[in-house]
Amino acid sequence: MKHLLSINDIDKDFALTILDTAAEMAKVSEGPVKKLPTLRGKTVVNLFAEDSTRTRISFEAAAKRLSADVINFTAKGSSISKGESLKDTAQTLQALGADAVVIRHPASGAAHRLAQGKWINGTVINAGDGTHEHPSQALLDAYTIRKHLCGGRGDLSGLHIAIVGDILHSRVARSNVLLLTKLGANVTLVAPPTLLPHQVEQWPVKVSFDFNAVLPTVDAVIMLRIQQERMSDLYFPSEREYSTLFGIDSERLALTKPKSILMHPGPMNRGLEISAEAADSDKSVVVEQVANGVSIRMAILYLFIAGSQESVNG
Amino acid sequence: MVNSILIKGGSISGGKKADVLIAHGLISEIAESINTSADQVIDAAGFILLPGFVDLHTHLREPGRENSETIATGSLAAARGGYVAVSAMANTLPVADNSAIVEQVAAIGKSVGLVDVFPIGAVTKNLEGRELADLGSMANSRAQVRVFSDDGNCVSDPLMMRRALEYVKQFDGVIAQHAQDPRLTEDAQMNEGIVASTLGLKGWPAVAEELIIARDILLANMVGARLHICHVTTAGGVEIIRWAKAQGMKVTAEVTPHHLLLTDELATSYDPIYKVNPPLRTQNDVDALRQGLVDGTIDIIGTDHAPHPVESKECEWQNAAFGMVGLETAFPILYTTLISTGRLSWERAIEVMSSNPAKIAGYQSHGRPLQVGEPAHIAIINPAGVLTVDRAQLASKSKNTPFHGMEFQGTVVATVFNGHLTHQGELRSGSHE
């Protein structure tokens, strides 16, 4: 498997391999020397045509811990902001000898275009394309859930996970629906009907408009960022009303099981989809998600670039 | 200079075999066997002679977008497709919203001389939907415009649409509506449905098309005007038009070859070659469009031939241009999907490809039956011919065909326009006598 464009590119076994590999990578990150020689001599380009500090830093840290050379190619001040086409950018990266391109792009399908345009030979890793997918985020979410609720082993069978908020525009939701259900979890989407994709009933999930009714049975709640411009696009009447119906606060959090966890891909709108008390509560694993993100991305880079699935400790 | 052509042994309009003699731009004789000498003799044994095709929906891009297509290259593409008349859409640069532009387009078309180029006039100035274009001036110009369309844009203001429909009655004009509610399709990328939801591409609901169709049918009926619906794509739209026709309302409708064949599943590749306005819909819609064409609900095939340069398609989906070229593949697609299977008779094929569009637009020398004394506009079809679409071989200046590599049956082997061969493909014998 050459590219990671969508969760559909990986089967359940390989998803579990990525999670297992990430667990090994986490040990490296916790050790005194946070570095492996695995990708020495390889060049990883972070092509970020859309601002995203945390995902870029996460991939950069992951690549550096594997000893890869990292080139950051970001929107502001680059040729992308000057109207260079994706094709020309790709060919430039090809000429620079990129072994892998990690791409974040505002257009859905941009990673597919890069991988299938025959403009580039290297591996393409989708780090978020428009409102389509964000596979590494889903993998780090699955890793975090498994670590807390499954002892860090096996799949997610029997777990109930709620994804709450702007499903329609969320690449995190799309990748998570594919991955979490692939790993055996039951997923419920909680959102106002305006923020659910058309024909969502064909997805392998349940849908609820009643957040409180869902909370007592969930093991993990993934809150999605709500973008402020959605209000002017008539998706909901006011921030206040959205927050009241679909935000999580300490009272709602109290409705969940004692061992449940609260997640958010960041950046959070405190006071909108998540209250400060909820974000900072014992159930919140938001900060840990960031750390797990580096391990997951080390695993992805290792497995997709080195093309080897032997133990990293071997 | 070839003045006379003898076409031997072809089936006339899918019926009896006969020889056809063409002289001075007219069909001068049809008989079981003609042995007169002619400047050119075509062996048409096994071939079908049809009245030359008429396209009511063609983007020729000139003036202003000659990097995509010119009237010359578009005319050649049309001739290759069996067309003898095309209707040049108004969304050029500048827009064809006044008599100067439409006369220029018609004049260039005439000087190219491969097909009749009939300009379509814009409904509103600069296609902006705010003021009516110079409808009367265009009608009275040397281009004699009768079809008006803001195609690419919808005449979305209901009052503007009402006025346009009423106004063109004075010269028996027709408004060809691009049915797309703009508010429901802001930034829309593809058919709204499970595929768009999964791909994260902004949806283009079927209802955005259907509610304009319904509205305009009611408006046209109220004011007693002629309405033509461009490129119908949804099952619901077909149903609304079927209802309107059953009430005796004056509406005609068009379907494109690509909407008769392709579905939104193709967007899964994110290849913008499949990006088109209106978008590719579902198999259910394709089935309804085919049925509508067969049963007479849909009157014509319109190509919506929409050339775009490579860079407009070699990019991210959301940044790509809408549109596909279609003149050179229209008939083979129709033959393969509906004629070869027996669902569409030759009689009906002639209606949808030639006589109906000519009637709607008032192109009086076109869409005529193949009879002695009629203008010699003929498409010669080889029903056994196979076309493997190769974008590099297209006559169109642009290569944005979604059919590259696909195989179709039913090829256009030659086209006769005004008594002259404007296209000759796989002819067996072109011996001069």
What single string gives the DSSP state of each residue in B232-284?
Answer: ---HHHHHHHHHHHHTT--EEEEE-TGGGT--GGGGGG--GGG--SSPP--HH
CA distance linking residue A198 with residue B360, whole number of Å:
37
Question: What is the arrangement of strands in the sheet containing B83-88, beginning at the earlier edge strand?
Answer: B53-58, B83-88, B116-119
* Cβ-defined contact of B199 to A132 (cutoff 8 Å): yes
B30 in contact with chain A, both atoms CB, cutoff 8 A = no
- Residues 313 to 332 of B: which have CB under 8 A from any A CB? 314-319
| Minimum Cα–Cα distance from B271: chain A residue | A113
CA distance linking residue B162 with residue B181, whole number of Å:
16
Chain A environment of B311 (Cβ under 8 Å): 85
Strand-strand pairing, A100-105 and A123-129: parallel
**The pLDDT of residue A82:** 64
Distance in Å, alpha carbon of B207 to nearest chain A alpha carbon: 13
Residues B143 and B267 reside in one and the same domain = yes
**Best mutation target, A8, A103, A113, to test chain B (most B CBs within 10 A):** A113
Query: What are the tokens at B395?
Result: 């006559």
Degrees, nearest 5: CA angle B142-B147-B150: 115
Residues B297 and B310 reside in one and the same domain = yes
Chain A environment of B315 (Cβ under 8 Å): 85-87, 113
**Best mutation target, B270, B282, B312, to test chain A (most A CBs within 10 A):** B270
Residues B241 and B349 reside in one and the same domain = yes
**The pLDDT of residue A309:** 37
User: Does B429 reside within a domain?
Assistant: no
Helix (H) or strand (E) run with residue B75 in it: helix B71-80
Distance in Å, alpha carbon of A109 to nearest chain B alpha carbon: 6
| Minimum Cα–Cα distance from A90: chain B residue | B315
B203 in contact with chain A, both atoms CB, cutoff 8 A = yes
3-state secondary structure of A291: helix
**The pLDDT of residue A313:** 39
B194 in contact with chain A, both atoms CB, cutoff 8 A = yes
* Cβ-defined contact of A109 to B314 (cutoff 8 Å): no
CA distance linking residue B206 with residue B203, whole number of Å:
9
Confidence of residue A1 (pLDDT cuts 50, 70, 90): low
Bridge partners for A100 per DSSP: A44, A123
Nearest to B318 among A107, A171, A198 (CB): A107
Domain span at B401: 4-48+374-424
Residues B269 and B325 reside in one and the same domain = yes
CA distance linking residue A134 with residue A104, whole number of Å:
9
The residue that leads in pLDDT, A231 or A188, is A188
* Cβ-defined contact of B316 to A131 (cutoff 8 Å): no
Helices (H), A200-285: 211-214, 229-232, 239-246, 250-253, 276-279
Nearest to A113 among B194, B198, B316 (CB): B316
**The pLDDT of residue A77:** 60
User: Does B367 reside within a domain?
Assistant: no
Residues B183 and B238 reside in one and the same domain = yes
User: Does B251 reside within a domain?
Assistant: yes
B283 in contact with chain A, both atoms CB, cutoff 8 A = no
Q: Are A226 and A247 in contact (CB under 8 A)?
A: no
Q: What is the domain count for chain B?
A: 2
**Best mutation target, A104, A108, A233, to test chain B (most B CBs within 10 A):** A108
Chain A environment of B201 (Cβ under 8 Å): 108-109, 130-132
Residues B11 and B158 reside in one and the same domain = no
**The pLDDT of residue B431:** 40
* Closest to B2 (Cα-Cα) out of B427, B428, B417: B417
Nearest to B200 among A87, A113, A174 (CB): A174
Q: Please check the confidence at residue A183 and state whether its pLDDT lies above 70.
A: yes
Q: Please check the confidence at residue B427 and state whether its pLDDT lies above 70.
A: no
User: Does B99 reside within a domain?
Assistant: yes
Known catalytic residues of A? 54-55, 82, 104, 134
Residues B282 and B419 reside in one and the same domain = no
CATH assignment, A7-133+291-306: 3.40.50.1370
* Cβ-defined contact of B197 to A131 (cutoff 8 Å): no
Greatest C-alpha distance within chain A: 57
pLDDT tens digits along B259-282: 999 999 999 999 999 999 999 999
Residues B68 and B29 reside in one and the same domain = no
Helix (H) or strand (E) run with residue B388 in it: strand B378-388
**The pLDDT of residue A30:** 86
**The pLDDT of residue A51:** 81
**Best mutation target, A86, A89, A112, A233, to test chain B (most B CBs within 10 A):** A112
pLDDT tens digits along B89-115: 999 999 999 999 999 999 999 999 999
Confidence of residue A197 (pLDDT cuts 50, 70, 90): very high
Distance in Å, alpha carbon of B385 to nearest chain A alpha carbon: 33
Torsion sign across C-alpha atoms B184, B189, B195, B200? negative
Mean predicted confidence (pLDDT) in A139-147: 98
Cβ neighbours for B201, distance < 8 A, ≥ 6 positions apart: A108, A109, A130, A131, A132, B189, B190, B267, B317, B318
Residues B304 and B399 reside in one and the same domain = no
Nearest to B200 among A113, A117, A132 (CB): A132
Kindly report the CATH class assigned to A135-286.
alpha beta
3-state secondary structure of B311: helix
User: Does B282 reside within a domain?
Assistant: yes
Catalytic annotation, pick one of B97, B116, B150, B304: B304
Residues B290 and B404 reside in one and the same domain = no
Please say if B285 is a catalytic residue: no
CA distance linking residue B94 with residue A151, whole number of Å:
68
Give the end-to-end CA distance of chain A in Å, rounded to a whole number.
22
Q: Please check the confidence at residue A39 and state whether its pLDDT lies above 80.
A: yes
Nearest to A108 among B199, B205, B311 (CB): B199
Residues B289 and B229 reside in one and the same domain = yes
Chain B environment of A173 (Cβ under 8 Å): none
User: Does B147 reside within a domain?
Assistant: yes
* Cβ-defined contact of B315 to A85 (cutoff 8 Å): yes
User: Does B121 reside within a domain?
Assistant: yes
Residues B62 and B37 reside in one and the same domain = no
pLDDT tens digits along A239-260: 999 999 999 999 999 999 999 9
User: Does B369 reside within a domain?
Assistant: no
* Cβ-defined contact of A198 to B196 (cutoff 8 Å): yes
Torsion sign across C-alpha atoms A200, A202, A205, A211? positive
pLDDT tens digits along A41-74: 999 999 999 888 899 999 999 999 999 999 998 8
- Residues 212 to 271 of B: which have CB under 8 A from any A CB? 269-271
Length of chain B: 433
pLDDT tens digits along B280-319: 999 999 999 999 999 999 999 999 999 999 999 999 999 9
CA distance linking residue B362 with residue A141, whole number of Å:
64
- The values of phi and psi at residue B219, to 5°, are -65, -50
Q: How far is CA B151 from CA A209, B101, B229, in A?
A: 41, 16, 10
Helices (H), B321-364: 330-334, 346-350, 356-361
Domain boundaries, given as residue ranges, for chain A: 7-133+291-306, 135-286
B284 in contact with chain A, both atoms CB, cutoff 8 A = no
- Percent of chain B scoring above 70 in pLDDT: 98
**The pLDDT of residue A308:** 41
> In which residue are the tokens 């003021």 written?
B131
* Cβ-defined contact of B314 to A131 (cutoff 8 Å): no
